[in-house]
């Protein structure tokens, strides 16, 4: 079990909080077409306060994934309007972002993960490969970068053998789209019903959905993502760009310091070029 397991949703909300409290969160009440009421203290703002925000996004509930640009805020009724118009459901959870869209935040998080893909290796055991009699070539599951051992079960899927498969009985075949495991005929005989256990290391995967988890130290991800977001706002030598450049330097420096502790050496045999 990984020490860290923050989801994309958790990372995005933490990142938003660290980006100068970029987001406001709330629960939908009295929804209409392109509008809803939110009776929460954090939303007690002057009329039109949220009109300059870049996105209203539903992250949980019936309307999950619905996105729109806030266009109007009436404080007396706590009603937010947004376009394109859509109808949410009472109880839906929403996040309002002042400066960065959900797409930008998610992209920065995944870029941060990608930047340590070659060093923040994770131990991985995979038992998704089923052997078939007479078939000697199998795809190595994606994200594996090294393999320590291959183990094989009996035909009932029980791993009862004391030793792994002899490395002389298989070889690695690199392809344009991945790596194959090729068993050597006359030395190893795959049998239908057997399961292959692959023990090795894998690169951390990017997060495609809000409920996917990352095993990487979240503080690294947040600091690196902050640097990426600030860098995207550097346009020249104006004061705003100078401020973003300063913030980028601070966040990236912190991320580099944390990344030193993420570096994991290769175990076993590397099966991809690093």
Q: Is residue 77 part of a domain?
A: yes
Q: Is residue 270 part of a domain?
A: no
Average pLDDT of the chain, as a whole number = 94
Give the pLDDT confidence score for residue 265 in this predicted structure: 87
pLDDT tier, 274 (very low <50, low <70, confident <90, very high otherwise): low
101 and 95 in contact (C-beta within 8 Å)?
A: no
Give the pLDDT confidence score for residue 236 in this predicted structure: 86
**Integer Cα distance of 175 and 195 in angstroms:** 23
Residue 31 has pLDDT above 70, yes or no: yes
Q: Is residue 272 part of a domain?
A: no
> Which among 202, 228, 250 is the end of a domain?
202
Same domain, 113 and 246: yes
Q: What are 137's two structure tokens?
A: 């070539």
Same domain, 194 and 218: no
Question: Structurally, how many domains does the chain consist of?
Answer: 3
Average pLDDT value for residue range 3-19: 95
Angle between helices 8-18 and 102-114 (to 10 degrees): 110
Same domain, 70 and 136: no
Q: How many C-beta neighbours within 10 Å does residue 70 have?
A: 21
Same domain, 215 and 245: yes
**Integer Cα distance of 219 and 227 in angstroms:** 12
**Integer Cα distance of 38 and 27 in angstroms:** 6
Same domain, 114 and 215: yes
Q: What share of the chain in percent tops pLDDT 70?
A: 99
Q: Is residue 1 part of a domain?
A: no
Give the pLDDT confidence score for residue 2 in this predicted structure: 62
| Exposed / middle / buried, residue 170 (Cβ in 10 Å: 0-12, 13-18, 19+) | buried
Q: Is residue 3 part of a domain?
A: no
> Which among 202, 218, 250 is the end of a domain?
202
Q: What are 96's two structure tokens?
A: 């309002």
Same domain, 131 and 242: no
Give the pLDDT confidence score for residue 37 in this predicted structure: 97
Give the pLDDT confidence score for residue 1 in this predicted structure: 45
pLDDT in tens, 47-62: 999 999 999 999 999 9
Average pLDDT value for residue range 97-116: 97
Q: Is residue 18 part of a domain?
A: no
Same domain, 131 and 76: no
Same domain, 91 and 225: no
Average pLDDT value for residue range 228-251: 94
pLDDT tier, 273 (very low <50, low <70, confident <90, very high otherwise): confident
CA gyration radius for the chain? 25
Q: Which of 187-191, 234-238, 256-260 has the lowest mean pLDDT?
A: 234-238
Same domain, 238 and 218: yes
pLDDT tier, 237 (very low <50, low <70, confident <90, very high otherwise): confident
pTM of this structure: 0.88
Q: Is residue 184 part of a domain?
A: yes
Same domain, 212 and 114: yes
Q: Is residue 271 part of a domain?
A: no
Same domain, 29 and 163: no
Q: Cα 222 to chain center, whole Å? A: 12
Same domain, 213 and 229: yes
- Phi and psi at residue 220, in whole multiples of 5°? -60, -50
> In which domain, by residue range, is 251 found?
107-118+206-262
């Amino acid at each position: 079990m990984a020490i860290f397991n923050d989801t994309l949703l958790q990372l995005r909300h933490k990142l938003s909080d660290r980006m100068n409290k970029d987001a406001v969160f709330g629960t939908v009440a009295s929804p209409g077409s392109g509008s809803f009421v939110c009776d929460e203290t954090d939303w007690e703002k002057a009329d039109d306060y949220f009109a300059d925000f870049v996105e209203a996004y539903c992250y949980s509930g019936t309307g999950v994934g619905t996105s729109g640009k806030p266009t109007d805020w009436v404080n007396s009724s706590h009603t937010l309007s947004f376009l394109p118009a859509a109808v949410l459901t009472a109880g839906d959870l929403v996040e309002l972002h002042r400066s960065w869209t959900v797409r930008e935040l998610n992209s920065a998080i995944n870029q941060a993960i990608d930047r340590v893909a070659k060093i923040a290796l994770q131990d991985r055991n995979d038992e998704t490969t089923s052997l078939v009699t007479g078939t000697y070539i199998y795809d190595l599951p994606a994200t594996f970068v090294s393999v320590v051992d291959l183990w094989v079960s009996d035909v009932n899927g029980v791993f009862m053998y004391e030793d792994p498969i002899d490395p002389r009985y298989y070889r690695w075949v690199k392809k344009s789209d991945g790596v194959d495991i090729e068993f050597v005929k006359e030395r190893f005989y795959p049998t239908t019903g057997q399961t292959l256990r692959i023990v090795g290391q894998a690169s951390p995967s990017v997060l495609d959905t809000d409920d996917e988890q990352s095993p990487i130290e979240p503080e690294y991800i947040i600091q690196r993502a902050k640097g990426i977001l600030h860098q995207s706002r550097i346009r020249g030598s104006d004061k705003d760009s100078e401020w973003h450049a300063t913030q980028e330097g601070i966040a990236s420096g912190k991320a580099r310091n944390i990344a030193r502790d993420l570096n994991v050496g290769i175990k076993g045999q590397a099966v991809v070029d690093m």
